[in-house]
Amino acid sequence: MLQGFEWYVPDDHKHWTRLHDNLEQLKATGIDNIWIPPGCKASSPSGNGYDIYDLYDLGEFDAKGSVGTKWGTKEELVKMVKKANEVGIGIYWDAVLNHKAAADHKEKCRAQEVDPNDRTRAISDPYEINGWLGFDFKARGDKYSEQKYHWYHFSGTDYNADNNKTAIYKILGDDTKGWADSGDVDGEKGNYDYLMFADLDFDHPEVEKDVIEWGKWLSTELTLKGIRFDAVKHFSEEFLRDFITELDKTHGEGWFFVGEFWKDSLSDMHKYLERMGKKFSLFDAPLVYNFSQLSKTEGGDLTKVFDDTLVKTVPVNAVTLVMNHDTQPYQALEAQIEPFFKPLAYALILLRYEGYPCLFYGDLYGIKGEHPFPPSCGGALPSLALARKLYSYGLQKDYFDYPTCIGWVRYGTWDRRWGCAVVMSNAGPGQKWMHVGEMHAGEKWTDVLGWSQGEVEIGQDGFGNFTCYGVSLSVWVNKDAEGRDRFGKL
C-alpha cells in the first residue's frame, strides 16, 4: 500500500489529479492499494481533512471558503477512484470520525473543566459555556443527510467564547452523558475520549445512526477497498465494531480495515486487536520507533529490529511503515530516521514475509513545504517496491547472526521461482554466506539496486557469498530473472 499524501502537499486543490495521473506508474512499481487523504470538507480550503467539518461534502458544496477540499473537487475524486479501479489499484478511505471542526454557530450548554492530564478529574464547578457546537451545513442543506448537530451531540470541546478561555470542557447533560465508558476508549490520561475540536458523543443514537449511514453512503458514492480509521483510541470501540458490521452487511465482507492506534505500548495494541477482532489491523508504531532508534545509534544491533513490535507478535494484523504524515519532520509525532537508514528500513518491511507494508508519499516523491526534503533512499524506493512485486515470495530464511550485518533469503514459489537474497549493514562492508537453493546452482546473481557491483555465482550446494557496501544494502537476484529490465526505469 502507498499512503498517497504527506502533510505539506501543496494546497492547490490538484492532488486528486496528481494521483490520477500517476496511477499507472504506481501500479507498475508494485503499488496495489492507496490510502488517500481525508476527502471530506475541512475547516478551510487548506485543511488536510483531520479538521473535518462535514462528512457528506466530498468537495461538492461551496462551504468553508471553497467548493473543493484541499485535494480537489468531488468530480476529480470520483474520476481518480474510477481510474484506480481500472488499473487494478484499490482505494482506502481515511475516515475521521472522532470529532467535528469549524461549527457554523455557537451554542450554550453546561460543562465542566477537566484536568488535561486526567480527564476523569474535574477542576471546576459546572457552569454555562458558549461553545462552537452548532452545525447546520447550509451549503449542503438536507442533501444526503438531514442530520444537524447541536451541543448535545458532543461530549467535549476546547473553547468557551464567553470568556475566550481554551480548556478541555466535558459537556454535561443528564446522568448518562459524559466521556465514553472506561474500556471503550484508551485509558491514557484517565480517559482519552477527548482529542480535539468538538468531540462526537457516540452514545447519542442520532450520532451513531448518522455516521453509520454515512459509511453506507460513501461506499455507494465511491468504489473502495477499505478504510483507514483515524484516532481510534479516542472514540468508541463498540461503535466502530457496529460500523464495520453494518458495512459488511451492506456490501459484503472483504474490505480492509486499519486503525491509527498510535502508541508505543505493544500490550495495549494487542488488547485493542483482541477486542476489535482479527479482521482489524493496526499500524506498527513500535517498529517505527525501533527504526528511529537504530538509525541514531552507532553500531546499533540490527538483529533486534523487530523486538517488541506488532509485526513480530501478530504479523497478520500489522501494517508496517517507515514514516507517515504524523511522524514526518516537523510534525507532532516526529520520529526522526536518519537518511542512510531509510533504504534498510524499507527493505525490512518490503522484502520480508511478515506484515503489510505501507510506503509513504513523502519518501517516494519528496516532502514539500517550508522545510522540503528530496525523495528518500537515494531514489531507490521504486526499485525496492518492484523487487517485492517480482521476487519477494516463498519461504524465508533469516541470517540475523551479527549485530551490524544481517541478511535473509526468499526462496520463491512454484509460479514465482526467482527468489531474492538481501544483505544489509549499518556499519562497515558486509557479507553473508547464504543458501538460496540448489535449483539456482550455476546462476549468476546481481544487485537489482546497482549499489553492489559484480556477480555472485551460486554453488552446486545452493549457497552464495552475498555482499553489500558499508552503511548500505543489496538485493541480489538472478541477472536473467524475468523483470530485471524494468529496474532503473521507474
Residues forming the active site? 230, 260
**CA dihedral sign, ordered 131, 136, 140, 145:** positive
Longest dimension (CA), the chain: 82
State how far the alpha carbon of 132 is from the alpha carbons of 98, 108, 235, 370, in Å: 16, 9, 20, 31
Q: Cα–Cα distance between 153 and 170 in angstroms, integer?
A: 12
Give me 445's grid cell: 546473481
Q: Spell out the residues 6+ positions from residue 298 whose beta carbon is closer than 8 angstroms to its own.
A: none
Helix/strand number for the chain, H first, E second: 10, 25
Q: Cα–Cα distance between 481 and 393 in angstroms, integer?
A: 14
What is the residue whose three cell numbers read 486499519?
Answer: 258
Residues 272, 37, 224, 75, Cα dihedral to 10° = 160
**DSSP letter for each residue of 76-123:** HHHHHHHHHHHHT-EEEEEE--SEE-S-SEEEEEEEEEEETTEEEEE-
Q: Spell out the residues 6+ positions from residue 86 whose beta carbon is closer than 8 angstroms to its own.
A: none
Taking alpha carbons only, the member of 187, 333, 105 closest to residue 179 is 187
Neighbouring CB atoms inside 10 A of 152's CB total 17
Give me 485's grid cell: 529490465
Looking at the chain, how many residues does it have? 490
Q: Cα–Cα distance between 226 and 238 in angstroms, integer?
A: 19
Taking alpha carbons only, the member of 289, 290, 286, 285 closest to residue 302 is 290
Give me 431's grid cell: 557479507
Instruction: Check residue 131 and report its DSSP letter.
Output: E
Q: Cα–Cα distance between 247 and 249 in angstroms, integer?
A: 5
CB 447 within 8 A of CB 464: no
CB 226 within 8 A of CB 257: yes
Instruction: Check residue 45 and report its DSSP letter.
Output: T
221-237 burial by CB neighbour count: b if 16+ within 10 A, else e?
bbebbbbbbbbbbbbbb
What is the residue whose three cell numbers read 485509558?
Answer: 187
